[in-house]
Each structure stands twice: as C-alpha cells, then as structure tokens.
C-alpha cells in the first residue's frame, strides 16, 4: 500500500520549490513559502516523537515551532507586500522632507528604473523570467537526484526525503542567485535556512528545544529585518528592484 | 555563577535597549554605553572561571573566553567614542554596537555550538539594520538631500552572506553531531569539515567570499564603523567558535588530511589574492583597508586548518588582535583623510598598518610569528607562501597609506584644501592607548600567548 504521507509531503516540498523558483509575484511565492514551512513541519513531526497535545492532536513541539515560524514569516511578508502596494502614489514622509533638487534626482532615478525595467521586459523577459528559472530547476533536479543518490542523508533510506533536502537547499540558492528584487532575495534566504530543519528531519535528530526555539526566533527576526529593509528601500527609491542598488 | 555569566550576556543587551530608548539624546545614549562597558569590564574582572547555565543553555567562562571578551570591549568603546566625538552617525550605532557585543558574549560563553552560530547570525542581522539606520537618519533632523542606497546594498549583501554562512555552519554542526552517534560513517566527517570551512570562510571574508567586507568598510555613507564592529568584534567570535568546534570533535582535523590540505590551500591562496587585491586596488582607502583584512582572514583560515598547535594559537591571537588593529587603523585613516596631521594620528596609521602585516616589535608580529612557525612545521613551501602574502600586504600598505603620511595639512589626502583637524582629547587618548597596547603586547606578549597557548596545549591532540 502506498504511504501518502511519505510521498505527499516530500512531493509537496518539491512543488513549493518549483513555485518559488519559477514565479515572481509575491501573491504566489509567499503562500508557497508558507506551504513549504508547513510541509517541513509535518516532515519533522514524522521523524521525532510527539511531546505536545494541542486541540486533541499529539504533536511534536518541533512541528509546532515550524508552523508558528512559517505563519509569522508569511504573515510578515504578505503584510509588508500589501502595505507597499497600497503605498504606490502616496508621498512618503521621506519624500516630503526632500528639497526640490533631491526630489528631481529621485524622479530621475525612478524614470531610469522604469525605463530599465521596460527594456528588460521587452528584450530579456523570456530569458530572465522563464528560461533561466526553468534551467535552474532542471539543474537543481539533476543535482539533487545525483547528490541524494551519492550522499543520502535520510537515516530511514527514504529516497524522496533525501531528494527534497537537496532540492530545497538548491532551490534556495537558485532563488537567491536569480533574484531581481528584494522580495525574491528574502524568500531565497528563508528557503535556504529552511533546509536546516529538513536536514534535522532527515537525520531524525533534534537539536534540542532551545536550539529549535532560537532558530525559530532568528528566522522570524530575519524576516522582520528584511521586511524593514523592503519598506525603507521603497520609501527612498520607490522600487524594490535590485537594479536600483546596482546603479549607485 | 549562572547569574554572573548571564549578566555578561545581558548587560550589553540591556544597555542596547536603554540606548535605543534614549537614541534621540546622544549624550545620554553614549553615557549608557560607557556605563555598560564599565559594568561589562567589572563583571569580567570579578567573575571567577566556572560554568553555569539557563534553560538548557550551558555557559562557561575560562581564561580564553575572558581574554576574548576583554578584547571585544575595545572596538565597542572605540566605535562609540568615535561616533560621539567625530563621526556624523546616528545614535542607532550605540544600540547596534552594544547588541553586537551581547551576541559576541553569547558566542564566547555558550557551550552549545548551535546557539553560538545563531548568535553570530543575530549579531550580523543587528549590524545590517544598524548600517541602514546609521546611514540614513540622524535623530531629530530632517533629511533634505537624496540619500544613497549603497548602504542597502551593503546591508543586504552582509545579511545574505551571514545567513548562508549560518546555514553552512548549521549543516556542519548537524553532520558532526550525527557522526558522534555513528562514528563508522567517515564520509560525514569530511562533509562536516567542508561545510565548517566554507561557513567560516564566508564569515571571515576569505577570497572569494570577500566582497561584503569591502562594502561594510565603505558603505557609501558614514565612517565604516559597521566594518569596524564586524571585523573587530565578530571575526574574533567566529574564530573562537571554530576553535571550540574543532576542540569538541578532534577527528574533524585529525582524520581529514586531504580536507586539511585544501583548507590550508584556500587560506593561503585567499591571503595572497587578498593582498594582491589590496596592492593593485585603485579604490577608496577604506576599501584597501578592507582588502588587507581579507588577506589576513586567509592567514587566519590557514592557521585554523593547519592542524598544529602553533597555527591554532596564531589564528586565535591574530583574530583577537583585530580588536586593537581595526579601530586603530580605521580611526587613524578617517582622521588623516579628514585633514588631521597630528603625530599621534599618523603614528596610529603606521603602527596599525605594520602591526597588521606582522612587523617587529608590534602585536601583529607576536601573532604572525606563531603562524610562520606553523607554516615552517608544515613545509617550507607554506612558509614561502606566507612570507609572500605578508610582503604583498606590506607593499599594499606602503603604496596606499604612505602618501597620507607626507600629505600636508593644507592639502590633505584628497588633494583638496583642508584645515588642520585637531582630534578631540578623548579620541587622542583612545589612539594613544591603542598605540601603546599594540607596542606593549608586541614587546611582551607572554600574558596572551600564555592564556592561548595553555588552552591549545590543553587540547593535547594537535601536532
């Protein structure tokens, strides 16, 4: 009989990796990130004994921490993205304080950023939006398969768990490398960090509640810091594109 | 005992919180920082060696940890003093510096390597935020000019690399733990060592993982104090973390001959390339300074990977010494570039540069000598390579920083007319203390070599 959890959870983790690498709209990538956290939490729960009872369910505290972390991170990212979308067209406090020369310089930079984005859209869109991420996924798939065969990490010999660990790490790295805006960069960092939890699950070990708690705290702190950077950068340049950073 | 050890970690954290609340009042924020540093110093002086803990977190204070924590107070004090008296930075710097010190204390005292790795990341996170805040807002003032976004690029770069380094270190620790349970799986040991070395190289800024370091020292706005804290405080913490990790699992070094050789090669190659970058660079001098530390990070990595007692001891001494050399170098350089021509400032620049290169009779030589001895122990080829890296670093110092010494006060380093800037008395005193310490510890390094050497000899299994 096929164990749905044994296939479904790693399969779901692989699917979320595909979504995170391929898509650019935060409305899809942030839920994919949340789903990945929840699925990794379930995988962790399957590898360590339950030690908490919540709403009638026996749960592992590691799972609970992973779920809470995922919800908080996704909540932070979604709220910040929404706030930035609604801030379009509204003059920020920072802009209001600028003198006319600085304001003109800001407008010029915005025009340049828009023009660069338009050029990218027309000339390199196919390559940057689809071809590179698809190639990255292909490379990740082959590399994850080869690595999981050569260096299996799962103590129970589950091929899909092995594969999903390498897959998540590689997807995180590719999201980072291919990121064109600060949101994707942030997601790449968190996906890579998530690989650590997956490794613990694959090895069926626990770092201890203190370590898991600290990891959750630093993940949430990192997400909060990144959200702050999004807002601060958007306030100053009205753009989240990494191109803006390369210009100066 | 536990309460005293916890106080060493939480005193700067509480100081950071108070400074954050008082960030609109610079004098009060700085006074809070100075009181916190004094309290931290008193705690270090009066807390006996021993163990303690809280909520499953084991803490230990020994002579080595005490030495590092004492050194870590220097860049903290220097950054706050320079900020208060000279630099135009916001009060977020005080909060940042104290928070980083709290994180560094946790790294030094924690017996749990995971907690140490997480604390390193947390400190970097705070520094990244501080970089953006420092560079963009002066409390209570309206910002009427368009602010650069380069600090954002520097912060993002640093945050990304710190996160990646933590992931690599985390994987190394998990694999090392798993090896302890399954000692027959030798492959785990190799993988753990490889991840540890890559994570450490990222954290220290060894070539080719070095670009973030240059942008921290030259973030486009401010005086590079974030770079001062990142290298002056956190590089020492990272090396201490690595030393603790290697000490906790001797087979990592002993049973990994090929990986050890690769680490030595990476470190030495990084040192030579970093020194070449510093020599050939045509960028701002703060960036050249960063490249010099990139080169030195390679030397430190070589020492750690040498598998010899002298190498480990030299790596620890070098990294701890950043607490003296980075503030001296950066503060002197900033002052000279601003037009200061006082003797103490120029002497600071000379001594910091020569000490970093490992010149007799400065602190850097005491540290570098052990690394030379370790290299000779491994083979003459390593010694020649280390000498080459040191000579290139010396050439870089001579090429980029010597002209500053002969620039007149009225022309300054940039060639523009500048008035003779007279450094504040407290900054002059800071420079004098740093200068005297560099020379005194170079002439008589026995207290340091004693503490570090005793810890290294206590391991018993190094060559």
- Using one digit for the tens of pLDDT, what is the confidence trace for B364-393? 898 999 999 999 999 999 999 999 999 999
- 3-state SS assignment for residue A87: coil
A96 reaches B (C-beta below 8 A): no
Which residues share a beta bridge with B421? B340
Mutant choice from B160, B182, B188 vs A, greatest count of A C-beta within 10 A: B160
Alpha-helix residue ranges (DSSP H) falling in B249-342: 251-254, 257-280, 285-305, 309-337
Q: What is the arithmetic mean of pLDDT over B13-31?
A: 88
Set of chain A residues whose Cβ sits within 8 Å of the Cβ of B159: 189, 222, 225-226, 229
Q: What ipTM describes this predicted complex?
A: 0.84
Q: Nearest CA to CA, how far is B97 from chain A (Å)? A: 17
Nearest to A239 by CA among A190, A182, A201: A182
Q: How confident is the model at residue B408 (pLDDT cuts 50, 70, 90)?
A: low
pLDDT tens-digit profile of B315-358?
999 999 999 999 999 999 988 888 887 888 899 999 999 999 98
Name the range with the highest mean pLDDT among B19-23, B134-138, B182-186: B19-23
Other CB atoms within 10 A of residue B445 CB: 20
B404 reaches A (C-beta below 8 A): no
The pLDDT score that the predictor gives to residue B41 is 92
B59: part of which helix (H) or strand (E)? strand B57-61
Q: Which residues of chain A have pLDDT under 70?
A: 1-6, 88-99, 113-114, 116-128, 154-158, 204-207, 246-248
Residue B8 and residue B295: Cα distance in Å, rounded? Answer: 32
| Mean pLDDT, rounded, of chain B | 87
Q: What is the arithmetic mean of pLDDT over B204-228?
A: 85
pLDDT tens-digit profile of A71-115?
999 999 999 999 888 876 665 666 666 667 777 777 777 777 667
CA terminus-to-terminus distance, chain A? 60
Residue A52 and residue A191: Cα distance in Å, rounded? Answer: 26
Cα torsion for B317, B320, B321, B327, to the nearest 10°?
170
The pLDDT score that the predictor gives to residue B425 is 85
Residue A194 and residue A192: Cα distance in Å, rounded? Answer: 5
The pLDDT score that the predictor gives to residue A61 is 80
More confident residue, B169 or B24: B169
A203 reaches B (C-beta below 8 A): yes
Set of chain B residues whose Cβ sits within 8 Å of the Cβ of A237: 149
Q: How confident is the model at residue B139 (pLDDT cuts 50, 70, 90)?
A: very low
Residue B288 and residue B400: Cα distance in Å, rounded? Answer: 8
Compare CB distances from B174 to A192, A199, A222 and report the shortest one's residue: A199
More confident residue, B431 or B91: B431
Residue B15 has pLDDT above 60, yes or no: yes
State phi, psi for B98 to the nearest 5 degrees.
Answer: -70, -40
Other CB atoms within 10 A of residue A147 CB: 18
A149 reaches B (C-beta below 8 A): no
- CA closest to A98 among chain B residues: B144
Cα A105 to chain centroid distance, Å, stands at 33
Residue B7 and residue B14: Cα distance in Å, rounded? Answer: 10
Whether the CB-CB separation of B69 and B19 falls below 8 Å is answered with no
CB distance A105–B191 less than 8 Å? no
pLDDT tens-digit profile of B257-286?
888 899 999 999 999 999 999 999 877 888
The pLDDT score that the predictor gives to residue B183 is 83
- CA closest to B174 among chain A residues: A200
CB distance B118–A222 less than 8 Å? no
DSSP state of B110: B
Whether the CB-CB separation of A21 and A176 falls below 8 Å is answered with no
CA terminus-to-terminus distance, chain B? 35
Mutant choice from A92, A215, A241, A246 vs B, greatest count of B C-beta within 10 A: A215
Compare CB distances from B128 to A225, A245, A248 and report the shortest one's residue: A225
Residue B39 has pLDDT above 90, yes or no: yes
Residue B425 and residue A179: Cα distance in Å, rounded? Answer: 48
The pLDDT score that the predictor gives to residue B439 is 93
A98 reaches B (C-beta below 8 A): yes
Q: Nearest CA to CA, how far is A157 from chain B (Å)? A: 15
The pLDDT score that the predictor gives to residue B374 is 93
More confident residue, B394 or A63: B394
| Tokens linked to B237 | 């913490």
The pLDDT score that the predictor gives to residue B270 is 94
pTM, two decimals, is 0.88
State phi, psi for B260 to the nearest 5 degrees.
Answer: -65, -40
| Tokens linked to A206 | 């626990």
Residue B431 and residue B443: Cα distance in Å, rounded? Answer: 18
**Buried b or exposed e, range B282-310, using 16+ CB within 10 angstroms:** eeebbbbbbbbbbbbbbbbbbbbbbbbbb
B57: part of which helix (H) or strand (E)? strand B57-61
Residue B417 has pLDDT above 80, yes or no: no
Q: How confident is the model at residue B136 (pLDDT cuts 50, 70, 90)?
A: very low
Q: Which B residues in the span 180-239 are in contact with A, Cβ-Cβ below 8 Å?
A: 181, 187, 191, 220
Nearest to B33 by CA among B86, B67, B88, B82: B82
> Long-range CB contacts (< 8 A, 24+ apart) of B345-352?
B345/B423, B345/B431, B346/B404, B346/B405, B347/B435, B348/B431, B348/B434, B348/B435, B349/B401, B349/B404, B349/B405, B350/B405, B351/B435, B351/B438, B351/B439, B352/B325, B352/B328, B352/B438
Nearest to B185 by CA among A164, A155, A163: A155
């Amino acid at each position: 009989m096929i164990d749905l959890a044994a296939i479904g959870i790693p399969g779901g983790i692989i699917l979320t990796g595909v979504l995170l690498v391929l898509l650019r709209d935060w409305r899809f990538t942030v839920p994919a990130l949340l789903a990945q956290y929840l699925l990794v939490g379930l995988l962790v729960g399957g590898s360590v004994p339950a030690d908490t009872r919540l709403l009638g369910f026996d749960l592992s505290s590691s799972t609970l921490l992973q779920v809470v972390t995922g919800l908080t991170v996704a909540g932070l990212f979604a709220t910040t993205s929404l706030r930035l979308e609604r801030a379009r067209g509204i003059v920020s406090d920072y802009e209001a304080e600028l003198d006319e020369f600085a304001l003109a310089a800001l407008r010029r930079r915005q025009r340049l950023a828009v023009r660069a984005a338009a050029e990218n859209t027309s000339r390199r869109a196919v390559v940057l939006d689809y071809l590179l991420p698809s190639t990255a996924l292909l490379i990740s798939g082959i590399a994850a398969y080869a690595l999981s065969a050569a260096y299996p990490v799962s103590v129970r010999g589950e091929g899909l768990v092995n594969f999903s660990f390498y897959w998540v790490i590689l997807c995180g790295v590719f999201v980072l490398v291919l990121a064109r805006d600060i949101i994707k960069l942030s997601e790449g960092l968190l996906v890579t960090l998530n690989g650590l939890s997956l490794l613990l699950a694959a090895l069926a070990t626990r770092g201890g509640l203190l370590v898991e708690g600290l990891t959750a705290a630093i993940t949430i702190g990192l997400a909060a810091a990144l959200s702050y950077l999004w807002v601060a950068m958007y306030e100053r340049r009205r753009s989240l594109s990494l191109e803006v950073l390369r210009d100066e | 005992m536990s309460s005293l050890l916890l106080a060493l970690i939480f005193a700067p954290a509480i100081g950071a919180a108070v400074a954050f609340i008082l960030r609109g009042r610079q004098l009060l924020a700085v006074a809070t920082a100075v009181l916190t540093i004094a309290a931290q110093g008193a705690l270090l002086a009066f807390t006996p060696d021993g163990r303690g803990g809280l909520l499953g977190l084991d803490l230990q204070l020994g002579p080595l940890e005490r030495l590092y924590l004492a050194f870590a107070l220097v860049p903290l004090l220097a950054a706050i003093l320079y900020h208060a008296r000279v630099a135009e930075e916001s009060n977020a710097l005080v909060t940042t510096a104290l928070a980083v010190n709290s994180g560094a204390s946790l790294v030094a005292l924690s017996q749990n390597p995971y907690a140490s790795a997480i604390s390193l990341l947390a400190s970097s996170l705070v520094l990244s935020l501080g970089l953006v805040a420092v560079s963009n807002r002066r409390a209570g003032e309206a910002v009427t000019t368009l602010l650069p976004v380069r600090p954002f690029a520097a912060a993002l770069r640093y945050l990304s690399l710190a996160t990646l380094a933590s992931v690599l270190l985390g994987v190394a620790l998990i694999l090392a733990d798993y090896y302890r349970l399954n000692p027959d799986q030798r492959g785990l040991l190799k993988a753990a060592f490889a991840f540890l070395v890559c994570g450490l190289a990222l954290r220290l800024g060894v070539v080719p993982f070095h670009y973030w370091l240059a942008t921290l020292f030259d973030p486009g706005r401010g005086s590079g104090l974030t770079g001062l804290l990142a290298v002056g405080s956190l590089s020492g913490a990272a090396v201490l973390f690595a030393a603790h990790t290697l000490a906790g699992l001797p087979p990592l070094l002993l049973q990994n001959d090929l990986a050890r050789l690769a680490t030595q090669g990476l470190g030495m190659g990084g040192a030579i390339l970093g020194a070449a970058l510093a020599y050939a660079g045509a960028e701002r001098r703060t960036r050249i300074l960063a490249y010099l530390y990139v080169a030195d990070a390679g030397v430190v990595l070589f020492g750690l990977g040498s598998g010899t007692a002298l190498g480990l001891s030299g790596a620890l001494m070098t990294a701890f010494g950043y607490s003296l050399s980075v503030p001296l170098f950066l503060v002197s350089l900033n002052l000279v570039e601003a037009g200061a021509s006082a003797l103490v400032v120029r002497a600071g620049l000379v001594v910091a540069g020569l000490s970093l290169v490992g010149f007799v009779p400065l602190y850097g030589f005491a540290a570098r000598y052990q690394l030379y001895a370790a290299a000779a122990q491994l083979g003459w080829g390593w010694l020649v390579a280390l000498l080459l890296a040191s000579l290139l670093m010396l050439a870089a110092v001579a090429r980029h920083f010597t002209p500053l010494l002969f620039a007149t006060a009225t022309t300054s380093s940039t060639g523009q007319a500048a008035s003779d800037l007279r450094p504040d008395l407290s900054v002059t005193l800071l420079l004098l203390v740093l200068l005297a310490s560099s020379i005194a510890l170079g002439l008589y390094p026995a207290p340091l070599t004693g503490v570090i050497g005793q810890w290294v000899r206590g391991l018993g299994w190094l060559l």
